[in-house]
Chains A and B, each alone.
Chain A
Amino acid sequence: MVTSLDYERILSPSGPYEGQVLRASDKKHPRKIAWIQCVGSRQVNPEGGNSYCSAVCCTYAQKQVILTKEHDAEVECTIFHNDVRSYNKDFERYFQRAEKLPGVRFIRSYVSIGKEIPESKNVTIRYSTPDAGVKEEEFDMVVLSVGLNPPTEVKSLANKFGIELNAHGFCQTNPVNPMETSRPGIFMSGAFQGPLDIPESVFTASGAGSQCGELLDYRRGMLSKERIYPEERDVSQEEPKVGVFICHCGANIGRIVNVPSTVEYCLTLPNVVYAQEQLFSCATNSAKEIADMAKEKGLNRLVVAACSPRTLEPLFRDTLREAGINQYYLEMANIREHCSWVHAKEKEEATKKAQDIIRMSVARACHLEPLQEFALPVNKTVLVVGGGLAGMTSALSVANQGHQVYLVEKDSDLGGIARRIHYTLEGLDVQAYLSDVIRKVYKHPLIRVYTDAAITEASGYVGNFVTTVTSQGRVIEIKHGAAILATGAEVYRPTEYLYGEDDRVMTHLELEEQIAKGDEKLLNSESLVMIQCVGCRNEDRNYCSRICCSESIKNALKLKELNPQMDIYILFRDMRTYGYKEDYYREAANKEVRFIRYEPQDQPQVEAVKEGGRSVLRVTVTDPVLGKQLEIDADALALAAAVIPSEGSEEATRLFKVTTSPDGFFKEAHVKLKPVEFSVDGIYLCGTAHYPKLISETISQAYGAAGRALTLLSRDTVVASGSVCEVKESDCISCGACITACTYGAIEFQETPLGRKAVVNPVLCKGDGLCNTKCPTGAIALKHFTDEEILIQIDAAV
């Protein structure tokens, strides 16, 4: 029996068995592994367990299953679960990926541990299925998907900072500002708020940063100092003089690769004039040693044989600048990830391979060209597209840090979809809050609002965008350095369950509006049915709309408060009340809201009928507990309609050349680590245009986007990489192959003295180099990765 965190270590190449899945007891490979979900979470027993849902376990268990199958496709994996809560972006597809693997079973059942079998050390698990009843099955290994607790020292931390904790022992936060603690000036981020996944942790961190910025903007930049580098030496006329520095990386490389003999080898390579070993090349004193030796020996090319350039290339480039050498004269040879780590058992072979890798790097280094990075000025103005809660929140946070903001809204009023939301699960009066935010936006001297607006054109690049907006008959050209796209989402208009045909059928949002209006007919209903997952988690929309389970429970609780006699039924597939929302799910169940699970292949049926003179909506559904068809006669039916991407997002995609994921929501630069950035520099995203989310989550992400935009705006210039494409005009035959290959619109035809030629705008070029492979004459070249530089490396390989 291991916890999920133990198992995470077992799967890791740096774990106890170097990435092999073994049992601790007898070091055998388990053939049958079981995962038990919700261990310590979603419990009503106050002894030890937490009442909330830990929000991350369903997906991490699926990840562990996928990784296990990648380790060994023969292992049988069984997940015993309650609801499968794939509520986050792309999680539904991820779940399907895990579920479809051969030899993987997802079994919805509570379990109990039977016994350990002394001979085999196997464990038996008792569970039940509707078809087979109670069964006891043997497993070689069991992983407990343990949930999240508050940090152990949390009380003393809270005392020290004078902040309050909530009933679960996590940080008490403001529901409309989840990064604000009970004490002004102290902010929090990440899972201290309660169970959170990585993207939410990341954007609450940026958001907390932005709010610190709002308080401290007047002191921005006062502690920073500009680095002064020595003047760059012109070495273009010199013969290559290569210095090779080989890192032991403690024992990481040195234990496997014979570093001293590799140093000797390097000295035999053409153009190498100096080579030495270092214990940690990245240590401050080692970097200084590199710079000093470069000066002393007159080196003009440097090869650092160490780890992946992804981590430390910027550091070593800086070292070259310190040595007065152009930073593009650096080449890194990765002899750790590509060599010592993967060939731990073949020391001699690994040493030879390290030498091969370094020889290739030296060959390449000799052909490197000095490149100049260029500084682009940054316009300090921000354009925010979308005047919903997301757009307004980020506009306010940016403006509070002293930047001019243009807020563009297509409707005649600000507020977005929040105008239709009246209360939250936690009891927030949304309309009062919204009015307050709108007032702040209009009152802010640095925010300019354009309503009834449309964007007709957008051009430019990071730091220097130009966007044309028409609003109420006027055309405005806005110059801005950054843009935040908060174009929101819409509600699916159901075609199912008599929606649009019978006025007793409504969406969950329409139900909320009727409750808020105090519609007598609705409030006097004897019976009301809600159907979840209408228009999503299906073939058309293969994602979970995330908010609908909470929305339905919220409405159910409100109705129970207003009319406790009303019979309320929620027909669901999985109740996805993640995190603290689990408590409200339990509250609803305790107030006798009836939850009936249905299967996607056996959807509820709805018909309008007359029953004893009373006209009702008859909902037929299979009850999995009773195994029987139930007929519920309802006075009203609320459909949890999908949240779908807005038209505005589609337009924004076209205008700002950003991308959406297959479901039509904005595609962030990295789903976990860059959740508010696009892959296009200078453009940020937040709110439901990214993915359906609740008000508090939208606000967090909006602050996060503001925080990321500020990191750009706080600089006067941005540096663009020197590794961009360039066209040799005399070789260009104006065929346009490069132009069609470029997804950034970085290449265009221009009239030159040699005729019409392709010309690269280096500011827009991202350096992917695809165009190079399309050019029939080799006229376009990606600097730093030219044909010559790569071919010479290929030649040096053998």
Chain B
Amino acid sequence: MCSGRVDLSFVLRAFSNGNDGVFIGGCRYNDCNYGTHGNYHALNMVLLFKKIMERIGLNPERLRIETMSAGDGNLFAEIMSDFGKKVKELGPLGKGEGIDENALKSKLEVVTNLVPYIRLVERERLRVPFKSEEEIQKFFTSDEFNRLFAETIGEKLAISQIVALLRQGPQTTGDIAQVLGLSPSEVSRYLNSSSRQRFVRYDEGLKRYALA
């Protein structure tokens, strides 16, 4: 099995189980055991997942990928010590970020439900043809990526989170914005499109949005 086999859902499961950090170790780039170069795919997955973590308010430094050869024992030990220290500093998952347990659970559930969608989007829109770590890193910090992400996974995440929130009861735009850490204008935009798709409706009586 290759580091490219490490699935989004494995990482999610680890965080959902309350692990405070997840580390993925792969072979050195361009030194593939299979000829598959799956470690680049693992890197893509990690960078995409970090973006998602950022989006749902989790510290992306809780997820780390490093590549090394079987002879790099010292390097591995150094990295793990460093990562362990970092995760300790960040504190328990959720708590460290000031997210309460239920909200954390709901956020991770939202992402888990989106896994098939994320795979499709990754293939159709976010697949990086580059075969170098630098280029991939560059892409994931580019404006183009941010735009593509916002259009696709970002929007789906927001809407899913809004729906999850409304399941607990009707909310105002301002409340939603505060809970999700988005600007009220972004929230209105998502609410408008969700209204059109009949996911949510505006309750005139309550002056709040509710599930349709």
Q: Are A787 and B9 in contact (CB under 8 A)?
A: yes
**Secondary structure of the A contact surface, majority rule:** loop
Contacts from B to A (Cβ < 8 Å): 1-2, 4-10, 13-14, 17-19, 30, 32-38, 41, 45, 70, 72-75, 77, 116-117, 119-120, 123
10 residue pairs, one from A and one from B, having the closest CB atoms = A769-B5, A768-B2, A770-B4, A768-B34, A776-B116, A770-B38, A785-B1, A768-B36, A776-B119, A679-B35
Beyond known contacts A67-B74, A770-B2, A794-B14: 6 more, CB 8 A cutoff: A310-B70, A743-B34, A768-B1, A768-B36, A768-B38, A775-B119
Q: Is A766 among interface residues, defined by CB-CB distance under 8 A?
A: yes
* A773 touching B123 in the complex, CB below 8 Å, given contacts A679-B34, A782-B1: no
Given that A13-B73, A769-B2, A769-B5 are contacting pairs, would A737 and B119 also be in contact in the complex, using a CB cutoff of 8 Å? yes
A782 lies within 8 A of B5 (CB): yes
Nearest residue, chain B, Cβ from A770? B4
Kindly state the separation between the CA atoms of A740 and B127 in the bound complex, as whole angstroms: 12
Q: Report the minimal beta-carbon distance from A129 to chain B, rounded to whole angstroms.
A: 33
Q: Let me know if B119 and A794 touch, CB within 8 A.
A: no
Are B36 and A787 neighbours in the complex by a CB distance under 8 Å?
no
Q: Which residues from B are CB-within-8-Å of A19?
A: 73-74
Complexed CA–CA distance, A795 and B35 (Å): 31
Which residues of A are found within 8 Å of B119, using beta-carbon distances? 737, 773-776
Question: A659 in the interface, Cβ–Cβ < 8 Å?
Answer: yes
- B19 x A797 contact (CB < 8 A): yes
6 pairs, A vs B, C-beta closer than 8 Å: A67-B74, A768-B4, A773-B8, A776-B117, A776-B120, A797-B19
Q: Does A507 contact B (CB under 8 A)?
A: no
Q: Which of A70, A679, A741, A790 contacts B75 (CB 8 A)?
A: A70
Mask: chain A, 557-592; 1 = CB below 8 Å from B; 0 = not: 000000000000000000000000000000000000
Verify if A283 is at the interface (C-beta below 8 Å from B).
no
Q: A773-B45, A777-B116, A795-B13 are in contact. Are A766 and B7 (CB under 8 A)?
A: no
What is the bound-complex CA distance between A71 and B72, given in angstroms?
11
A71 contacts across to B, CB distance below 8 A: 74
Q: Mark A252-295, 1 if CB is under 8 A from B, else 0.
A: 00000000000000000000000000000000000000000000
- A680 interfacial contact with B, CB 8 Å: yes
The answer to whether A791 has its CB under 8 Å from any CB of chain B is yes
A44 at the interface (CB under 8 A from B): no
Question: Contact at A773–B74, with CB atoms within 8 Å?
Answer: no
Q: Is the CB of B36 within 8 A of A743?
A: yes
Contact status A791-B13, CB under 8 Å: yes
CB distance from A480 to the nearest CB of B (A): 21
Identify which of B17, B35, B37, B119 gathers the most chain A CB atoms within 10 Å of its CB.
B35
A312 on interface, CB distance cutoff 8 Å? no
B6 touching A773, Cβ below 8 Å: yes
**A791, B9: Cβ atoms under 8 Å?**
yes
Residue from A19, A342, A723, A776 whose CB has the most chain B CB atoms within 10 Å: A776
A679-B27 Cα distance, complex, nearest whole Å: 15
Please indicate the chain B residues that have their CB under 8 angstroms from the CB of A791 in the complex: 9-10, 13
Q: Does A228 make an interface contact (CB < 8 A)?
A: no
| A766→B5 contact, CB < 8 A | no
What are the residues of chain B within 8 A of A770 when measuring CB–CB?
A: 2, 4-5, 36, 38, 41
B5 touching A773, Cβ below 8 Å: yes
Chain A residues 129-150 with CB under 8 Å of chain B are none
A772 within 8 A of B: yes
**Least distance between A768 CB and chain B CB atoms (Å):** 4
Cβ < 8 Å to B, chain A residues 719-768: 723, 737, 740-741, 743-744, 766-768
